[in-house]
Structure formats: C-alpha cells, structure tokens
Amino acid sequence: MEIDTINIQELKKALFESWSLESSSKWSKDNLAKGQCGVTALVVNDLLGGEIRKTELTDGWHFYNIIDNKRYDFTASQFKVGIKYKDFPSDRVEALADTNEKQYNYLKQNTINLLFK
C-alpha cells in the first residue's frame, strides 16, 4: 500500500489499534480515543494532507482534519455527546501543543507499521 492509496477505514483501524498510553496520557481501556485528537490530527495530516481544524469544547480545543472539503474526526468517539463543529482554522503548531514529540512519533510510526505491514 502506498500513501496515496490509504483507505480511510484501514487508517481508522490502524489508529484505533495504535492508541495507548504511549500516544496520550489520557488514554484508557474504557475510552481509547481520549486525549488523542491533537496527535491523531497530526498523523492524519502527515499521511493524507488536508487541513487541521479545531472546535472549542468545554475541556478545551478539539482537533480534527478536513481533507478534500470533508471532515474526518477519528477521535469523536471520546465524547458522550455530539460535537457542534465550528471548523476554526488551526495548524500543526497548535495541534502539537496538545501532545508532545514522543507521543507524536510513537503514533505515527505505529500507525505506519500497521498500514504498511
């Protein structure tokens, strides 16, 4: 599989399998996506391009991706209620501030390993 042929469902599966305490200190077995939004938005941006967007929630900013004018929020499952998206422009610097280099490098490498094994 090449990067330009990444299937969204395969990417979602690889992300879900990669999320752990290594990718977010907020992760739990009961809520796999908890705290994964910034780091996930960065990895998806690396693999598929597009834009990083954000919406303000009660706990702070929530990051996700816009690719070919379509919203992809792989971490929405962490919330019990639906999100009213505002799609404010964001960037890699803001998303990285939500995580750290070690978590980002772990998630990116693990996701790539699962996608291209």
Model pLDDT for residues 68-104, shown as the tens digit of each residue: 999 999 999 999 989 999 999 999 999 999 999 999 9
Residue span of the structural domain in which 69 resides: 37-117
Q: Is 68 a member of any domain?
A: yes
Q: Which of 39, 26, 47 shows the shortest CA–CA distance to 112?
A: 47
Whether the pLDDT of residue 63 is over 50: the answer is yes
Q: Could you give the count of Cα atoms lying within 13 Å of 48 in the half-sphere of its Cβ?
A: 27
Residue 2: pLDDT band (50, 70, 90) is very low
Task: State the pairing for strand pair 70-72/88-89.
Answer: unpaired
Give the residue, 106 or 117, on which the prediction is more confident: 106
Q: Which of 86, 103, 85 shows the shortest CA–CA distance to 38?
A: 103
Q: Is 3 a member of any domain?
A: no
Q: What is the reported pLDDT for 5?
A: 66
Structural domains of the chain, count: 1
Q: What is the reported pLDDT for 55?
A: 98
The arithmetic mean of pLDDT across residues 36-58, rounded, is 97
Chain-centroid distance of CA 91 in Å reads: 13
